[in-house]
Amino acid sequence: MTEFELIARYFSRPCTDAAVVLGVGDDCAALRVPEGERLLVSTDLLVDGRHFPESTAAFDVGYKAMAVNLSDLAAMGARPLGVTLGLALPTIEPDWLEPFAQGFYALAEHYGICLVGGDTVKSPVRTLAVTIMGSARPDRMLTRSGARPGDLIAVTGTIGDAGLGLRSIQHPESMPASLNPEDIDFLQMRLNRPTPRVDEGRRLAEVAHAAIDISDGLLQDLGHVLSASHVGAVVETDRLPISPAARAWFAADPTQRHLPLTAGDDYELLFTLPPEQWGTLGISATVIGRITEDKRLRVLDVEGHDMSVHVHGFDHFAPVDLD
Minimum Å gap between C-beta 232 and Mg ion is: 47
Minimum Å gap between C-beta 194 and ligand ADP is: 22
Minimum Å gap between C-beta 88 and ligand ADP is: 10
Minimum Å gap between C-beta 124 and ligand ADP is: 18
Comparison of 86 and 99: residue with beta carbon closer to Mg ion: 86
Stretch that binds Mg ion, among 117-125, 132-140, 166-174, 314-322 (CB under 5 A): 117-125
Residue 27: which of ligand ADP, Mg ion, none does it interact with, CB under 5 to 8 A by kind? Answer: ligand ADP
Comparison of 26 and 119: residue with beta carbon closer to Mg ion: 119
Do residues 133 and 41 make contact, with C-beta atoms less than 8 angstroms apart? yes
Residue 285: which of Mg ion, ligand ADP, none does it interact with, CB under 5 to 8 A by kind? Answer: none
Q: DSSP for 239-277, please give it.
A: GS---HHHHHHHHH-GGGTTHHHH------EEEEE-HHH
Q: List strands edge to edge, sheet with 232-236.
A: 210-213, 269-273, 152-156, 285-292, 232-236, 297-300, 306-307
Cα dihedral 94, 100, 102, 103 in deg (nearest 10): 170
Count of residues interacting with Mg ion (CB under 5 A):
1
Comparison of 119 and 238: residue with beta carbon closer to Mg ion: 119
Comparison of 27 and 276: residue with beta carbon closer to ligand ADP: 27
Comparison of 37 and 109: residue with beta carbon closer to ligand ADP: 109
**Beta strand 127-136 pairing with 210-213:** unpaired
Spatial distance between the Cα atoms of 120 and 108, rounded to a whole number of angstroms: 19
Comparison of 55 and 91: residue with beta carbon closer to ligand ADP: 91
Minimum Å gap between C-beta 95 and Mg ion is: 24
User: Judged by CB under 5 A, which of 93, 119, 199, 306 binds Mg ion?
Assistant: 119
H-helix segments, the chain: 3-10, 58-76, 94-110, 161-170, 181-192, 198-207, 218-229, 244-252, 259-262, 275-278
**Angle between helices 181-192 and 161-170 in degrees, nearest 10:** 110
Spatial distance between the Cα atoms of 165 and 143, rounded to a whole number of angstroms: 29
Residues 60-79 that bind Mg ion (CB under 5 A): none
Residues of the shown chain interacting with ligand ADP in the complex, contacts defined by CB under 6 A: 7, 11, 24-27, 85, 87, 115, 117-120
Question: Distance of alpha carbon 206 from its chain centroid, rounded?
Answer: 21
Minimum Å gap between C-beta 312 and ligand ADP is: 34
Kindly list the residues in this chain that would bind Mg ion in the complex (CB under 5 A).
119
